[in-house]
Structure 1
Amino acid sequence: MLVHELFATVILARFTADTWRRLAPMAGPAPKQHPHPGRFHVTQQGSAHEIQAIWMTDADIVNWLTDPTGSES
């Protein structure tokens, strides 16, 4: 058994076609790379979905977690 077979979900970003074939063969051929940064693919149960990541700095995350009103200081 290969390590990746232990996971039900595979998340790939900036991958090669070879990496896709090794880690997500059940989802079909590798999709074309998206020109926009922050996109990644999540494979579950044999299908792949393209998702947009949220880009935040450490300071953004601290502010987001500690300021429930959403106002900027």
Structure 2
Amino acid sequence: LKAVRAGGGDIHRNSLSDSIQLSQNHLEAAGELGKLRSLKKIEIEPRTREEAFKYVDMSDIMLLDHLSPEELREL
């Protein structure tokens, strides 16, 4: 945690009780997310830029670890 903060990063989740993280598999199975949003923050982990744009309005947090630095600059 200290190294992340020293580098200017932020901790997006301390435990599973802080938010709900949805991978592509979850998104394909979940359908409507409205009910989930009222319960917890929604964290989505897109695999591509296209998925990031597709799901940006559905999420409170996006985990972008599958994108390259170049793809992140394009966002």
For normalisation by structure 2, the TM-score amounts to 0.25
Structure (1/2) with the larger helix percentage: 2
Larger Rg: 1
Structure (1/2) with the larger strand percentage: 1
For normalisation by structure 1, the TM-score amounts to 0.26
